[in-house]
Amino acid sequence: MRGRGYYGATPASTWGRREFLRVGTLGPIGLSLGDYLKLSAGQERPAATKSCIMIVLDGGAPQHETFDMKPDAPSDVAGSFRPIPTNVSGIQICEHLPLTARQADKYAILRSVYGDTAIHFTGVYYLMTGFMPLQSVDFPSRGSVVAKELGARTGLPPYVLNATLDHAAGPGFLGSGYSPFWVRGDPSSPSFRIEDLEVPVDMDWSQISDRRWLVKQLDAKFRERDTRGLFADRERFFQEAEDIIRSPTVKSAFDIGAEPEPLRNQYGRTPIGQGCLLARRLVESGVRFVTVNAARAIWDTHADNFNRCKDVLLPEFDAAFATLMEDMHQRGLLESTLVVVSGEFGRTPKVNPNAGRDHWPSVFSVVLAGAGIQGGQTYGASDAVGGEPKDNPVSMEDLSATIYDRLGIDPDKEYYTASNRPVRLANRGNPVRAPLI
């Protein structure tokens, strides 16, 4: 699975000398948004307004310690945490999510989601694309599909990745034009900045203009033989890249330091907290799809599950998610923005000898909010020990269909690979509507 599309990148060996020089016109700026610009050409679509924030609990969050507690189960299943009431009668969640409990009227809990793999690598790919990995096809991530279907708006990249999910977040067979704009670095760091939006200290715009002029001259003869308009498209891409770097709107969208200090503190000065705040800024400014996670497999609690959840994982998530819900509600963004919270799988019903829980794809919980999702409800149920779906099972394909449906994208739409193989967006999944919508 280490092919070119799987990582959303183009191997250096596929670039000729001229392409290398062309990249060199803006390459010294550290510009990784050239791929994105292939998407934006001629695709500004003002009609659709939907966006999505996907919060990935990488590693697999335990359903028993979050949104599907089993207090009446045997102690080796129930664990040591207790449920607390939310602001919606009849719905209880973990005691270490008190802030999230106060926002339950804004989100719905799917307690019967299931997958097909207990391996992190394939599970994350499955979560992010809706497909299990295949050697023969590299499927596009959901963010890339949204970028293709909804296009760019307000001059911002349509798909932003603030995560460590490089193997599962690429454009697959859609091509590099639908790659994410990758925010590298920790947004909670005082030194956080977006390098791709800055000119290096040892360069100025006159030098960049000189390089672009040189490439134009080198390309002049080749341009005369171009019958497909490729040079015109590429020139437009790099002009747009320059426009983005110069754009105060784009810089403002990524400027998390402009947020009030009390609000930043409320989200939490953590990677997931500031990642959620940055995601809110981005969708508010026009980005279509933002993926957020804190770190690779941080929820992989094979040992010391309860202390790690109580001391770090749950408090950080609680502050980030609850504040995001309230912040977006107050700004009117939940009407047009779907928020998804999920890991790649859940964790075992029984606590292991190391006080941890192991990988468990058979059932887990997913939280949905916004974009027409009716909050204050649960959908589906797991069995008495939280090990299998009991009512209204939801496959990963159904989850994909639901996400696309809420964003105004037909889940049954077909794409075609380079070999003309048809691929249905939600892989025959069915959107969950009533009573969620």
Given phi > 0 = left and psi -120 to 50 = alpha, else beta, which region is 291? beta
Work out the average pLDDT over 153-176: 89
Residue predicted with more confidence, 1 or 265: 265
Distance, in Å, from the CA atom of 118 to the CA atom of 358, rounded to the nearest integer, reads: 9
pLDDT at res. 250: 82
Query: What mean pLDDT do residues 216-226 have?
Result: 57
The DSSP output letter for 291 is E
User: Which of the pair, 230 or 89, is modelled with greater confidence?
Assistant: 89
Q: What is the 3-state secondary structure (H, E, C) of 230-284?
A: HHHHHHHHHHHHHHHHHCHHHHHHHCHHHCCHHHHHHHCCCHHHHHHHHHHHHHH
Whether the pLDDT of residue 22 is over 50: the answer is no
CB atoms within 10 A of CB 349: 26
Residue predicted with more confidence, 376 or 199 = 376
26: pLDDT strictly greater than 80: no
pLDDT band at 223 (very low <50, low <70, confident <90, very high): low
Q: Are 53 and 293 in contact (CB under 8 A)?
A: no
Mean pLDDT, the chain, integer: 84
Give me the pLDDT at residue 221, please.
56
Q: Which pLDDT does position 358 carry in this prediction?
A: 98
Place of tokens 């001059």: 155
**pLDDT tens, 113-163?**
999 999 999 999 999 999 999 999 999 999 999 999 999 988 899 999 988
**Residue 224: enclosing H or E segment and its boundaries?**
helix 205-224
pLDDT value for 205: 46
The structural domains of the chain, ordered by start, are 5-15+48-195+262-424 (3.40.720)
Q: Is the pLDDT of residue 234 over 70?
A: no
Q: Which amino acid is at 30?
A: G
Minimum mean pLDDT among 176-190, 335-349, 372-386, 393-407: which range?
176-190
Any residues with CB less than 8 A from the CB of 16 and at least 6 apart, and which? none
| Rounded Cα gap, residues 9 and 175, in angstroms | 9
With pLDDT > 70 as the criterion, what percentage of the chain qualifies?
Answer: 77
Give the sign of the dihedral formed by CA 123, CA 125, CA 127, CA 132: negative
Structure tokens at 8: 């959303």
- 69, two tokens: 């507690």
Q: What is the pLDDT of residues 264-312, one digit of tens each?
A: 999 999 999 999 999 999 999 999 999 999 787 899 999 999 999 999 9
Residue 69 has what pLDDT? Answer: 98
- The pLDDT of residue 367 is 98
Confidence band (pLDDT; 50, 70, 90) for 247?
A: low
* pLDDT computed for residue 155 by the predictor: 84
Name the burial class of residue 109, with classes exposed (0-12), middle (13-18) and buried (19+) by CB atoms within 10 angstroms of its CB: buried
Q: What pLDDT shows up at residue 48?
A: 58
Give one DSSP letter per residue of 301-366, joined into a string: -SSSHHHHIIIIIHHHHHHHHHHHHHHHHHTT-TTTEEEEEE-SSEE-SSPPTTS---EE-S-EEE
Range with lowest mean pLDDT among 21-30, 31-40, 214-223, 316-325: 21-30
* Nearest-angstrom CA–CA distance, 257 and 238: 28
pLDDT band for position 243 (50/70/90)?
Answer: low
Longest dimension (CA), the chain: 77
pTM for this predicted structure: 0.83
Give the pLDDT score at 138.
96
Residue 13 has pLDDT above 50, yes or no: no
CB-CB contact of 278 with 194 (8 Å): no
- 3-class DSSP state of 152: strand
Question: Contact, 56 vs 343, CB < 8 A?
Answer: yes
What pLDDT is attached to residue 400? Answer: 98
Rounded distance between C-alpha atoms, residue 165 and residue 343, angstroms: 12
Six-digit token string for 402: 């639901």
